Amino acid sequence: MHLSTRAIAPKDDQYLQGSLDRDNLNEDPFQQFHAWFKEAQNHPISQPEGTTLSTASLPSGRISARTVYLKELDHRGFVIYSNWGTSKKSKDIASNPNASLTFWWKEQERQVRVEGVTERLTDAESQVYYDTRIRGSRIGAWASQQSSVLPGRELLEQQVKEVEQRFEDREKIPVPPFWGGLRIIPTYIEFWVIHLRPSRLHDRFAYTRESPTETNWKIERLSP
C-alpha cells in the first residue's frame, strides 16, 4: 500500500483574529504573557496551560518533546511539575539545562515560544503544590517510575497498592525526593500572531536578554 500526504493551504478567511504592534506590547514579557494567558482563559480556550516542553540530550544533541501543564508563572520564570528521577526529560536536563516551551492557542491564532535555562524548585516549594493535588495523584507520583520499562500493568498497580499502604494513615504525604517543580528561566520569549495580509506576513516580536539575571529586555520585531 502506498501512502502519501499533501499539505493543504488554509483558506483566506482562516486567520482573522488581529495583529500585533510594538505599541501594544508590555515592556515586561512576563506581564505580556500573563495578559495573553488571561485572554486565552476567557476566550475560552480548552486548557491554555498546555505547553510543549522540548529538551535535548548532550553530547548526542537528540531532541525530545512532550506536552506538560504550566502550573505557575512567577517573577523568575515558568514552572512545571514532573518526575525528575527516571523520566526522559530528567536525563536530558541532567546533561543539558537548556529547555524550551511552546504555547499554541489555535482559536486566537497566537503562539508563544520560551527558551531558557532550568532550575529545580526546592522540596519545600514543591510541597506547596503537591499538597493541592488529589490523593490519587500524590500516591501515583510515588508509585510510578516514569518512563521506565514496565513488563505489565499489574506491576504498576501493585506499586500503587504498596504506596497506599505506606501512607494509609497519613493525610499529609511528603513530596517524593525525585518529584517536584522545574522552573524555566527565560532568556528569549517570542510572541507570534497570524495576521491576514498579502503572503500571510505574520507579526512576531521577540524579547531577549543576555542572561537569566538581567532585568532589561530588548524587544525586536522579527520577519515572519
Residue 70 DSSP class: -
Query: By CB neighbour count within 10 A (0-12 exposed, 13-18 middle, 19+ buried), where does 85 fall?
Result: middle
pLDDT (0 to 100) of residue 18: 65
Rounded CA separation 141/153 (Å) = 16
Q: Residue for cell digits 536525563? A: 91
pLDDT (0 to 100) of residue 223: 86
Q: Which three cell numbers stand for residue 216?
A: 532589561
In terms of pLDDT, which residue wins out, 81 or 10?
81
- Residue type for 135, please? R
Residue 131 DSSP class: T
Which residues have CB under 8 Å from 115's CB, separation 6+? 98, 99, 100, 186, 187, 188, 189
8 — pLDDT class (breaks 50, 70, 90): very low
Are 214 and 203 contacting, i.e. CB atoms less than 8 angstroms apart? no
Angle in degrees, CA 98, 99, 105, rounded to 5: 155
Which domains are assigned to the chain?
49-221 (2.30.110.10)
224 — pLDDT class (breaks 50, 70, 90): confident
Q: Say how many CA atoms lie within 13 Å of 202 toward its Cβ.
A: 13
**DSSP state string for 21-58:** -GGGS-SSHHHHHHHHHHHHHHTT-S-TTEEEEEEE-T
Q: Which three cell numbers stand for residue 131?
A: 499538597
Q: What are phi and psi of 155, to 5 degrees?
A: -65, -40
Mean pLDDT across the stretch 182-207?
85
pLDDT (0 to 100) of residue 183: 98
Closest to 171 measured CA to CA, from 134, 202, 142, 208 = 134
